Amino acid sequence: MKNSNSIQVRSSTVLFTGRIFDVVREEIELASGLRQDLAIVRHPGAVGVVAMQPDGQVLLVRQYRHAVGRELLEIPAGRLEPGEDPRKAALRELEEETGYRAQSLEPLGSFFPAPGFCSEELHLFLARELGWAGPERAAHDADEELATVQLPLREALERCSVDAKSWIGLSRAAARLSNAP
């Protein structure tokens, strides 16, 4: 694998600027001399939270996702604000989407959902020691319509298997919890 420092960006044009991401067209030249013309989605990054209740129930959110034309069951998640620490974003998103606060937040690593065309890095966390902050704290974004659902971890893994961030986060949490003393 070549060092990314040996990649030259020949041209870069913003094709679209949106609220959540930008689309950029770039022509690059690899160290070998190969040129590529690419359309890239520039995304600030996001967080996903596996929120575990003491009884083994996981807090999930159900919401309609128009891109796939149906409701999905997912872990609470959201994008990073510019310069925002992923840990703080995870706590914020958990509270906004579910009304719960976490006293314990453990990193579960990060991943790139679609590195072939998107720069988004998704940071995952396991939240425990949850406390109800109240319905006034569940102030999700104005363009979101969410319902909170609680399921046992095993069932959550099965029911969230079509959403990559949820499946990866729940799988990592299950592995972490099975190795716990």
Which runs of consecutive H residues, i.e. helices, occur in 24-77? none
Same domain, 136 and 163: yes
Same domain, 54 and 66: yes
pLDDT band at 5, cuts 50/70/90? confident
Weakest mean pLDDT among 89-103, 133-147, 167-181: 133-147
What is the domain range of residue 36? 4-42
List of residues 6+ apart from 127 with CB closer than 8 A:
49, 50, 51, 52, 90, 91, 94, 100, 102, 104, 105
pLDDT for residue 155 is more than 50: yes
Same domain, 83 and 21: no
Same domain, 173 and 107: yes
CATH number of domain containing 55: 3.90.79.10
Same domain, 31 and 60: no
- What average pLDDT does the segment 97-101 reach? 95
Locate 69 and state its tokens: 């034309």
pLDDT band at 181, cuts 50/70/90? low
pLDDT band at 138, cuts 50/70/90? low
Name the average pLDDT for the chain. Answer: 93
Same domain, 124 and 164: yes
CA–CA dist 56, 47 (Å, integer): 22
Same domain, 59 and 81: yes
Same domain, 38 and 52: no
Same domain, 55 and 36: no
pLDDT band at 2, cuts 50/70/90? very low
